[in-house]
Amino acid sequence: MAITATTAVAESDAGGLPQLDVSTFESQLVWLFLSFAVLFVFIWKIALPKVSNVMLLREETISSDLDSAEDLRSESEAIKASYEQSLAAARKNAHDSAMKARADIQVKVDAASAELDGRLSADSSAAEMRIKAARDAALDDLDDVVIDVTSDLVSKLAGGPADQNAIDAAVKAAKET
């Protein structure tokens, strides 16, 4: 029975597609405009405000994120400038400390050098004095030896005792020239 009902409907609708049936065309247009109007009002009053709100919320979020990022960038630049300033101050302090240490070391070196120069000068003076004393002692001994040798020579050559005062005067005169 289902087969006969289907064929009966198919035979009565020999016109083809129902939406292209000219007899129902006016009602289809009415329903089209009515559906369009309801859909338009729904989108205009309900959906579009929600989408606009979401778009505004996104725009505000993005704007606040950009402002926050700009604030953070400014803050990081300030921190960087502070860091560079601290680094420059630390370098200057290190340089000043190094220069002060160098100056302190130079003062110590100069003091040690002056002390050493003083000691060397004193040692040199003492050594010169010892050398002079040794030379004078050697010359005094040499005078005695010269006087003895001259005395012996004169006594051997003259055949008698020599005049000791004349020999002493001659040795002293030779020593001064």
Averages of pLDDT over runs of 10 residues in the chain (177 residues) are 50 67 88 96 94 96 96 96 96 96 94 92 90 85 81 81 81 78
**Per-residue model confidence (pLDDT) at position 46:** 94
DSSP secondary structure of 60-114: HHHHHHHHHHHHHHHHHHHHHHHHHHHHHHHHHHHHHHHHHHHHHHHHHHHHHHH
pTM of whole model > 0.85?
no
CA distance 97 to 36: 86
Domain boundaries, the chain: 24-176
